[in-house]
Chains A and B, each alone.
Chain A
Amino acid sequence: MADTLSPDALAADFDCLMARAGITVPPQRRATALAAYADLRGQIALLHGRYGPAAEPANVFSLLPTGAK
């Protein structure tokens, strides 16, 4: 998902994701949305391939015994 896509592939990817989510993007807003998606994809690329299996996400949690604060 973080590979560089051509503009056409990026647009197709975006349309597919919006369709899967059940969202209809009005034609007059599509160009702006696509530009924002391209920007977001660039940011997401920074996050991929950075961590090995031992790097755990921040939402891994620990339980406390009942009654503990």
Chain B
Amino acid sequence: MDTQDLSIADMGRLLRAGTVTAEALARDALARISSRDGALNAFLLVTEERALADAQRADSELKAGHDRGPFHGIPYALKDIYDTAGIRTTCHSKLRIDNVPKEDSVAAARLREAGGVLLGKLATHEFAIGGPSFDLPFPPARNPWNPQHVTGGSSSGSGTAVASRMVRMAMGSDTGGSIRGPAAWCGTVGIKPTYGRVSRRGVFPLSWTLDHIGPLTRNVEDAAITLQVLAGHDPLDPASANVPIPTYRADLDKGVAGLRIGVPRAFFATAQATTKEVVTELDRIAAALRAAGAVVEDIELPDYALFAAAGRVIMMSEAFAIHEVDMRARLLDYGEITAGRFILGAAITAADFIHALRARRELTDAVNAALSRYDALLTLSALDTAPRFDQPTDAMSAASPIQTIPFNVTGHPAMSVPTGLAKNGLPIGVQIIGRPFDEAMVFRVGRSVEKLSGWESVSLPGG
């Protein structure tokens, strides 16, 4: 049986029916990694022994009637900024090349407790910001649709591993778009949950007040299943919210009839980097949602540039505080891109930072006001398809083609969903934003977009 295109839910059904074993799923995934990853560099470390042990445990438990739920026996991988007990966790950096954590991150522990099968650790831009780079201890992950093109970052290996069908789910992190960017450019689903929904404890920080963690997956249902495992209050994470967790799959197929969806068109319509093709794709999706019964209207939000400015100032300030000592003592041990981004934090004044925080309040209020009138927002994830390695763009600059940072600044849940292929054969994704802690609505709209767009009939690379 070819298992690489089975959804997480389908894998679960077959596991429970005894048609397939977790060990067989793990061995299939390990074989795919072995055959495909040499050209794509998604994995920094394949944990074969651990994977087989996890899988054998999952099989024994199911046989004994101990069912841990929908993630039981499901293979997955982690971005290499997630602490994993006894397993090297490098942040893709020379500075942490020998780091072996003693404890799992909360997310890794939750996935293990849910019966998941850990396949390995994935490439990232260094410290979740610096890349794609060729001056690091490991090569950059490559886009499976065309290896001459970047994946987007920083969850680069996660995007590659999912889009190349090595694994159905890979964990990423998102401080300015590091889940949604690679999801859009690699053609996967990627959700950044509400700030506080998932514990960040044990995931190496880039910027404490912008960091979110979440999954990249093949489809929306896989993302909903995974978030169900991850969501929950962690009293030891100061940002963690103690709020009820709905059943994320309950409303997945309710459709969009009667929903109101706002499109902040000026975000992308006025940006220099926007290509006509991606706007046409967004308009096609908006029309399909209208035809399915939703009200889809253009709305006004504050200028995108203000979101981007506030986000960058906050991110660079917090990141520099984290790396200050090493930036002084070991600057040349960082990759050039990483160092060039982090040192800017030293050039930000206290007043700059406070103004960014004042903007953050204004912008969060504005998005909340829009979401008091609309059930969800719809916009582009990126202004163009993935660029080539030899034509890099700067995701940190004012002209970044990735359009995701507004919802790191405001903390709203946001998900990128692939909708189609551009003429160059690379994926295009749209972004759906919901009210705080209303990931269920984001999944519901996302599921409709997935169905209406025709993405489900697109053949993935390696098929």
| Chain A residues within 8 Å of B, Cβ to Cβ | 1-2, 13-14, 17-18, 20-26, 29, 32-33, 36-37, 39-40, 42-44, 46-48, 50-51, 55-59, 69
Write the chain A residue with the least CB distance to B399.
A39
- The count of chain B contact residues (Cβ–Cβ below 8 Å) is 43
- The CA of A38 and the CA of B313, in the complex, are separated in Å by 13
Q: How many A-B residue pairs have CB under 8 A?
A: 108
Besides A2-B352, A33-B340, A43-B309, 14 more A-B contacts (Cβ < 8 Å) are A17-B347, A23-B343, A25-B331, A33-B343, A36-B394, A39-B397, A40-B347, A42-B398, A43-B305, A43-B398, A44-B352, A47-B356, A50-B358, A58-B361
With A14-B347, A33-B343, A42-B398 in contact, do A23 and B327 touch (Cβ < 8 Å)? yes
> Can you give 12 A-B contacts (C-beta < 8 A)?
A1-B351, A17-B346, A23-B346, A25-B343, A26-B331, A36-B344, A40-B313, A43-B305, A47-B306, A48-B355, A50-B358, A58-B358
Across the interface, do B361 and A18 meet the contact criterion of CB distance under 8 Å? no
Across the interface, do A44 and B313 meet the contact criterion of CB distance under 8 Å? yes
A33: chain B residues at CB < 8 Å are: 340, 343-344
B339's partner among A14, A17, A29 (CB-CB below 8 A) is: A29
With A33-B343, A43-B398 in contact, do A58 and B355 touch (Cβ < 8 Å)? no
Across the interface, do A58 and B360 meet the contact criterion of CB distance under 8 Å? yes
| Chain B residues within 8 Å of A, Cβ to Cβ | 209, 242, 303, 305-306, 308-310, 312-313, 316, 324, 327-328, 331-332, 336, 339-341, 343-344, 346-349, 351-352, 354-362, 364, 394, 396-399
Across the interface, do B358 and A46 meet the contact criterion of CB distance under 8 Å? no
Overall SS of chain B's interface: helix
Across the interface, do A23 and B331 meet the contact criterion of CB distance under 8 Å? yes
A25: chain B residues at CB < 8 Å are: 331, 343
Write the chain A residue with the least CB distance to B243.
A69
- The CA of A2 and the CA of B354, in the complex, are separated in Å by 14
Across the interface, do A36 and B340 meet the contact criterion of CB distance under 8 Å? yes
B357: chain A residues at CB < 8 Å are: 57-59
Across the interface, do B308 and A36 meet the contact criterion of CB distance under 8 Å? no
- The CA of A15 and the CA of B360, in the complex, are separated in Å by 29
Across the interface, do B344 and A40 meet the contact criterion of CB distance under 8 Å? yes
Q: When A and B form their complex, which 8 residue pairs have the shortest distance between CB atoms, in order from nearest?
A: A57-B357, A21-B346, A43-B309, A58-B360, A47-B355, A58-B361, A17-B347, A46-B309
With A39-B398, A43-B398 in contact, do A51 and B340 touch (Cβ < 8 Å)? no
